């Protein structure tokens, strides 16, 4: 059977679609997709987190997948991280790396089974993208963070405006401080030509 690919991921419409796709993709994701596509976004996001977060407290990796953000962050700084993802299969691969304190199966399109004001930092790479989670999920992600928590969230640039993320951040202004948008390449130079110009917005801020 052919492995899932980026087009299949972008076509996801429901949480059930997501779980089915990533169940099939989990085992081959790192050595297949991430390596073949020269997928740089998790490292960029991890580096930003390391630069901004002092490591005191617990980080939640939202849409952690196979744990690529934690893998890159661990090379530079020791920190305590939990992983949240809708796919138990992807989380199983992440757990095998021994980088997370806990793994949590959760759906960002609904309320998470996590207490308010729990985390000291929130990081996310590749979750807010085509066919995945919309801007309203930012309310839930902010809810579970402590006051002053650091956020480093990547959002696919192609739908930053079209899906309402720009407008959502305007609405969130009373709840966040120091919002900074940084635009980065998602993939490195070895990616296929069709995706060489793909960009992500990285929203960096703190909870007020």
pLDDT tier, 2 (very low <50, low <70, confident <90, very high otherwise): very low
Residue bearing tokens 């617990």:
58
Taking 80 as the threshold, does the pLDDT of residue 77 lie above it? yes
- Note the pTM of the prediction, 2 decimals: 0.86
Residues 6+ apart with CB under 8 A from 78: 55
Angle CA(119)–CA(77)–CA(147) in degrees, nearest 5? 20
Mean pLDDT, to the nearest integer, of 121-133?
Answer: 84
Cα–Cα dist 89/66, whole Å: 9
Taking 90 as the threshold, does the pLDDT of residue 18 lie above it? no
% residues pLDDT > 90 (the chain): 72
* Contact assessment for residue 105 and residue 22, using Cβ atoms and an 8 Å cutoff: no
User: Terminal CA-to-CA distance of the chain, rounded, Å?
Assistant: 48
């Amino acid at each position: 059977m052919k492995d899932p690919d980026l087009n299949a991921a972008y076509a996801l419409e429901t949480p059930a679609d997501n779980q089915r796709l990533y169940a099939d993709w989990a085992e081959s994701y790192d050595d297949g997709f991430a390596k073949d596509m020269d997928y740089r976004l998790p490292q960029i996001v991890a580096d930003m987190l390391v630069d901004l977060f002092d490591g005191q407290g617990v980080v939640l990796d939202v849409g952690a997948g196979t744990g690529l953000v934690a893998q890159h962050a661990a090379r530079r700084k020791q920190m305590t991280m939990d992983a949240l993802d809708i796919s138990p299969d992807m989380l199983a691969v992440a757990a095998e790396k021994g980088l997370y304190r806990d793994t949590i199966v959760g759906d960002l399109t609904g309320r998470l089974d996590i207490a308010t004001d729990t985390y000291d930092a929130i990081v996310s790479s590749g979750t807010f993208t085509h066919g995945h989670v919309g801007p309203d999920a930012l309310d839930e992600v902010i809810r579970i963070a402590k006051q002053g928590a650091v956020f480093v969230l990547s959002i696919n640039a192609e739908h930053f405006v079209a899906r309402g993320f720009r407008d959502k951040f305007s609405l969130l202004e009373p709840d966040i401080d120091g919002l900074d948008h940084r635009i980065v390449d998602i993939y490195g130079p070895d990616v296929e030509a069709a995706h060489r110009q793909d960009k992500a917005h990285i929203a960096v801020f703190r909870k007020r």
